[in-house]
Amino acid sequence: MEALESGINDGDNRNVDMTVGDIYGDSMKEILSSDVIASSLGKSNSKGSEKKKKSDADVIKSVSIMMAINVAQLIGLYAEIERLQRFVFVSSLLRSETFFEMIQV
């Protein structure tokens, strides 16, 4: 669990996630921030000049963000269907402040 928490806190998902900026550069900055994730793990199989060193922590951070986005979407959709005003999310990953920040909706 410590390795997971360390990866969430120390990893840089931009090394493995493709962002809007990677695709469009700064031409979309008035519509979307260049830091918005366009494809989770989109750079994980990069070749040539795009290939950068990717650490295990970077992959852990990317997968954690992808999981947080999916959890938040599912909670939002379920809350809308059931007309819920509040919900409780319980996970041992909440020990990581970074993960908790990722799932806030």
Q: What is the pLDDT of residues 13-44, one digit of tens each?
A: 999 999 999 999 888 878 888 888 999 999 98
The predicted model scores a pTM of 0.75
- Written as six digits, the tokens of 6 are 């360390």
Give the pLDDT band of residue 2 (cuts 50, 70, 90): confident
Single out the residue of 43, 95, 90, 56 nearest to residue 71, CA to CA: 90
